[in-house]
Amino acid sequence: MAHTKAQRAVRGNRDSIAKRRGVKKYGGMTVKNGNILVRQKGTKFFPGMNTTMGSEFTIAATADGIVSFTQKNGKKFINVVPLEVPKKAAKKPASKAVVADKESKVADSPAAA
C-alpha cells in the first residue's frame, strides 16, 4: 500500500498571460497613420518624427510613411519618413465660351421666363 497522501497542485505552478510586447513594424516597412510600431514596458524606444507615445509606452505612427530607427545620444528613436505624395494637377478653369453657353441655356429655359 502506497504511503502518498492526497495530492494538490504545486504552489508555484502559475503563469501570467503573455503581454505581446515588442516591435510590431520594423525598419523599412510601410505604415499608415495610427499603426502601432512598438509595445514596450518603459522607454526602450523613444518617439521621433511623425510618431507619438501613448498609454503604456506604446509608440504609434501619426503619418503614412516608412519606419526608420535612429540613435542619438544613446537613445533609440523611431521615426516615420513620410511618403512622397504626387501633387495633383490644378483644375483648369472652364473656358469663357463654355461658361457663356451655360448662361445662355439658363436664360432660354422656360423656368427663367
Total of domains in the chain:
1
- pLDDT value at 55 more than 80: yes
Is 57 domain-assigned?
yes
Residue 113: per-residue pLDDT: 55
In a domain, 69, yes or no: yes
Given a cut of 70, whether residue 16 has pLDDT beyond it is yes
What is the model's pLDDT at position 50?
Answer: 97
**41 within some domain:** yes
61 is in which domain, residue-wise? Answer: 22-82
4 compared with 65, residue with greater pLDDT: 65
User: pLDDT at residue 92 above 70?
Assistant: no
Residues 6+ apart with CB under 8 A from 32: 61, 64
Is 0.75 topped by the overall pTM?
no
Q: Is residue 107 part of a domain?
A: no
**Could you tell me the sign of the dihedral formed by the alpha carbons of 45, 46, 51, 54, in that order?**
positive
Residue 11 forms part of a structural domain: no
Specify if 70 maps to a domain: yes
108 compared with 83, residue with greater pLDDT = 83
Report yes or no: 68 and 27 within 8 Å, Cβ to Cβ: yes
Question: Is residue 68 domain-resident?
Answer: yes
Give pLDDT, residue 17: 93
pLDDT above 70 covers what percent of the chain?
A: 70
Q: Is residue 97 part of a domain?
A: no
Look at the chain and count its residues.
113
Query: Around Cβ 7, how many Cβ atoms within 10 Å?
Result: 6
Q: What is the CATH number of the domain that holds 76?
A: 2.40.50.100
What pLDDT sits at residue 79?
Answer: 97
